[in-house]
Amino acid sequence: MIGLTILLTVSAACGRDAEPVETLTPTETAPPVIVAQESAPSPSEFVPAPPLGTLPSLSDMVERAKHSVVSIAVESVERGAFFDFTDDSTGSGIVVRPDGYILTNRHVVQDATKIMVGLPGGRTFEASVVGRDRLTDLTVLKIDADNLEAATFGDSNTLRAGDWVVAMGHALDLKGGPSVTLGIVSARGRTVETTQGSLFDMIQTDAAINDGNSGGPLVNLNGNVVGVNTAMLRQAQGIGFAVSSEVARRIADSLIERGRVVRPLIGLTGADLTLSRANYLNLDSANGIITTNMSRSGPAYKAGIRVGDVITHIDGTPTADMAKFLTVLWTYDVGDIVEIEYVSDDGKHVTSVKLVERPGD
């Protein structure tokens, strides 16, 4: 399956609302930021890499983890100008429950007319879609199989930049089991814009993620799943992204139990605050999100928030960027009332917003 392509823009949406009132067109440009270069460390400060002979083999861990990695073959119908034709693509998946529940990416099986899941032992089953979530690009499939070896999920919140991780999946649909690539966590909390929409709070890794890896696990050195391989940046080398295990586990459970993910809706679209906009509003820092699109029928608009306003806190919790804003927002339930602190042209304000249910995928 061709992985998600990362666009070279970053934005975010936290409400799928109709009838937008207005859209903010950025006119300000941030002044260039000059970063002082630190002097190079003296030779005595360099820490040499360990000899290759001291690096442990990961073969035992890979042998354990690969039994929960499946291949996914998708058949879809492409609509042509004069006739339709069948297209085939591939991806990967993770066994999340022994009774046949498989977690993968939404884009892997999007528009599929037939989905086949290949188990590590060679058996193949036709799969049905249990539920899908557009915002995290995750989908749960079900096959008629029992006693499968489910993956063990780790705590992605403990990951730090520099930690070793291994990406597994059926890259390029090669025969002989899943491919294994080693890398590190390059960063956490990334927000990226893909051809399928915005993805938030992503793990960035330099472990190679190729076509066919989508939906496969990103595991730590204990073999525990800490992410779901989702997207790669084709214009660069060593830049891939994975949905964190903390997000993936909650989404999978909700899709299995309800067939959908229930999230609160505040009714606005936002983007990270620029330095120039912060200076214009006389803010002490560029921490916050600027509203770029709203609906007259949305909760935020009814509470007095308008396009161009900057949201800085939810119930006293700082919202430095869209990733943090959504992380905090999605901890609330439908019907909760939250206090929003925001800044407009005429000063700082606090308003109460009653959250409604976000429409499903």
Nearest in space to 168 (alpha carbons), one of 93, 251, 60: 93
Whether 345 sits among the annotated catalytic residues: the reply is no
Strands 101-105, 20-23: pairing is unpaired
Q: What is the DSSP string of 187-231?
A: EEEEEEEETTEEEEEEEEE-S---TT-TTPEEE-TTS-EEEEEEE
Amino acid letter, 215: G
Number of Cβ within 10 Å of residue 28's Cβ equals 12
The number of CA neighbours under 13 Å toward the Cβ of 321 is 13
Q: Is 266 helix (H, G, I), strand (E, B) or coil?
A: coil
246-265 b/e with 16+ CB inside 10 Å = b?
Answer: bbbbebbebbbeeeebebbb
Residues in contact with 76: Cβ distance below 8 Å, sequence separation at least 6, in sequence order: 86, 87, 88, 89, 111, 112, 113
Distant-in-sequence, close-in-space partners of 190: CB < 8 Å, separation ≥ 6: 201, 202, 203, 204, 241, 323
* Sequence-separated (6 or more) residues with CB below 8 Å from residue 168: 62, 65, 66, 69, 92, 178, 179, 180, 216, 217, 218, 219
Catalytic residue among 17, 68, 92, 107: 107
Residue showing tokens 């120039």? 276
Q: Which of 68, 89, 214, 295 is catalytic?
A: 214
Active-site option among 89, 92, 133, 137: 137
| Farthest CA pair distance, the chain | 70
Count Cβ atoms within 10 A of the Cβ of residue 207 and give its class: 0-12 exposed, 13-18 middle, 19 or more buried.
buried
Q: 111 catalytic, yes or no?
A: no
- Active site annotation includes 313: no
Catalytic residues: 107, 137, 214
